[in-house]
A and B are shown apart, each in its own frame.
Chain A
């Protein structure tokens, strides 16, 4: 998929005191591309996404795109339970200073299929629908890049199917989508490219097929992934 580069990260590093959570991570995202960030728990996936989103300040390195142009969907739904779906969206549209808040809200409701639940208070929605609102908020400013931190972790299989269909649609429309996950088959099925993080280091960048090869060619990608980690000393 020959897209244009929309985001370039160079030598991103983050340390918490003496402990280094991310070391010299560099990569590019192109428009319409779906990129999975995989790695064991504590590998630095959330840290990488929050540096890109401007949530935390990097200790070193640079990101070519300012945080305002990056949509961010945190792992836990960041929504106000006492407000309705529309009120949540309108609040964040106003805080994001989008040109036409009401139009942006309608578009996000449409995109996420929430139009008929717009008046419902968040506390009355299922976990899956709360996650949809969470994603809708990330889309309000119509960003060229959307980051999602383990977006499927709280969803049942049917809701996951809807989620991936939605993400595929976004990428088809030109958005660069980057998602963190620790489920390798999700990465295999829904990502065009995979970044593997281990102990804060980027140890692999490439397609699922290339990951197979790098991991000793085992037909099971999970086995290949584990042997790659072991080969790298993790």
Chain B
């Protein structure tokens, strides 16, 4: 078996194109994954509870009506809203994974917003609540970034509205004009004109008279006011975030951040491609080079041949996985103390992916067919494993969980997440991977019956 292993490594060394492909492909895939993860799936389901009484759905900002619902519509452009009747119901939906998160607009928020934007303002800002499932890093991050960006938009829009209205008043104060309140029109003089009139008046008065000195004082004040109020547009626009957000994570404790989760996912993706393709391809190659018959007539047992290919995959997984991790650790802050766990995780993943590979190779029998099958099977399995709870129907999610558990991607991801991010126990996913290794080698052994 040792000689076969050496032979395979020698063949690999002499196939730079194949090895290049095996390295380049995972890197490309990892980049794509990183991109996909940072974008998140389209339109996640979010429960929506609006406790604001019907009558308060619009607030008035200095006489202009602003429709609160208009702002929640913006949010709904990006999510699939699921109406919930109460905060409790929404909480339960998040816990059960029916929805990715929930947005709760409390009963008093319209009133508070009204007060906050009234001239004079109020420190007590309205607070909307975001409830999200923190059991997976994808979920939490997804809802957070979604809500953050939407609320920032809503805040900016409300702030802009206030600025517009206030700036209108200031303009009248500065330059004068007409202004209507309670159905009556008022003509306002404006500070600029006031300054001009005062200046003329002062010039008409005799030099050194007490009245002229007083008028000049008022004129100076008006000029100063004109000059300084010119800046107030900018001052006003700095009014920001009239709405505050309270975040309530449900389930799961210190969950992995998306960035470090993406590292684990990229590493597992690379391992999957390298190991599955290598084991499947190298097994099929034995048949394609007609060496299989020669080997199994007493030189190597069929079982040992399979084990050799699985070990080959794991042996190649180690440098690929560790190089990726070391590079990441140098660039980002990975805890070097976990390095022994990385090795365990990478090796176990390599074995399980290698075992899946030999099963594929034994069934497909030809290198090309094996590679095709390896791709065709691995990609959907990996994407399935990345589907966050709450983005699909319950029953479908159950199916996805079962399917994911039958393939090494999900447990490998859990193992790497545990090893890299100290998120959860390392040993259950390792045991899962080893069980899958045994199962797939056994499957491959059965498939070998019609291999020769």
Taking Cβ atoms with an 8 Å cutoff, the residues of A that contact B are 50, 53-56, 67-68, 72, 74, 76-83, 87, 91-92, 94-96, 121, 137
Contact = CB atoms under 8 A, between A and B. Distances in A.
A54 B301 CA distance: 12
Given A67-B297, A87-B10, A91-B4, 17 more contacts: A50-B293, A53-B297, A55-B293, A72-B294, A72-B297, A74-B294, A78-B290, A78-B291, A78-B294, A79-B291, A80-B289, A83-B10, A83-B11, A94-B3, A95-B295, A121-B14, A137-B294
Interface in B1-19: 3-4, 7, 10-11, 14-15
Nearest to A78: B290
Interface string B277-318: 000000000000111111111111000000000000000000
Given A50-B293, A79-B291, A91 B7 contact: yes
Contacts of A55: 293, 296-297, 452
Contacts of B297: 53-55, 67, 72
A79 to B, nearest CB: 7
Nearest to A87: B10
Task: Count chain A CB atoms within 10 A of each CB in B4, B289, B294 and give the residue with the most.
Answer: B294
B298 A79 contact: no
Task: Count chain B CB atoms within 10 A of each CB in A50, A55, A137 and give the residue with the most.
Answer: A55
Nearest to A73: B294
Contacts of B15: 82
A83 B289 CA distance: 12
B291 A80 contact: yes
Contacts of A91: 3-4, 7
A94 to B, nearest CB: 5
A79 B300 CA distance: 16
B10 A82 contact: yes
Contacts of A78: 289-294
Contacts of B4: 91, 95
B347 to A, nearest CB: 26
Contacts of A77: 290
A67 B296 CA distance: 11
A150 to B, nearest CB: 13
Contacts of B292: 78
B7 A80 contact: yes
Interface residues of B, number: 20
B9 to A, nearest CB: 11
B299 A95 contact: yes
B11 A82 contact: yes
Task: Count chain B CB atoms within 10 A of each CB in A68, A80, A81 and give the residue with the most.
Answer: A80
B19 to A, nearest CB: 12
A79 B4 CA distance: 13
A47 to B, nearest CB: 12
Nearest to A72: B297
A81 B296 CA distance: 19
Contact of B298 (A50, A54, A76, A82): A54
A76 B290 contact: yes
Contacts of A82: 10-11, 14-15
A130 B262 CA distance: 49
Contacts of A80: 7, 11, 289, 291
Nearest to A81: B289
A82 B286 CA distance: 12
Contacts of A95: 3-4, 295, 299-300
Nearest to A68: B298
24 contacts: A50-B293, A55-B293, A56-B452, A67-B297, A67-B298, A68-B298, A72-B294, A74-B290, A74-B293, A74-B294, A76-B290, A77-B290, A78-B294, A80-B7, A80-B289, A81-B289, A82-B10, A82-B14, A82-B15, A83-B7, A91-B4, A94-B3, A95-B295, A96-B299
A56 B15 CA distance: 32
Contacts of B299: 92, 95-96
A197 B10 CA distance: 42
A77 B294 CA distance: 10
Nearest to A75: B290
Contacts of A79: 289-291
Interface string B339-353: 000000000000000
Contacts of B7: 80, 83, 87, 91
Nearest to B2: A94
A50 B4 CA distance: 23
A136 B292 CA distance: 17
A137 B4 CA distance: 15
A137 B289 CA distance: 14
Interface in B45-82: none
A110 B14 CA distance: 27
Contacts of A81: 289
A79 B14 CA distance: 15
A88 B394 CA distance: 56
B73 to A, nearest CB: 63
B14 to A, nearest CB: 5
A66 to B, nearest CB: 8
A46 B15 CA distance: 33
Nearest to B295: A95
Nearest to A77: B290
Contacts of B298: 54, 67-68
List of 10 A-B pairs having minimum Cβ-Cβ separation, nearest first: A78-B290, A95-B299, A82-B11, A54-B297, A76-B290, A94-B3, A78-B294, A55-B297, A78-B291, A82-B14
A55 B293 CA distance: 6
A113 to B, nearest CB: 22
Nearest to B10: A83
A18 B4 CA distance: 36
A230 B300 CA distance: 43
B451 to A, nearest CB: 12
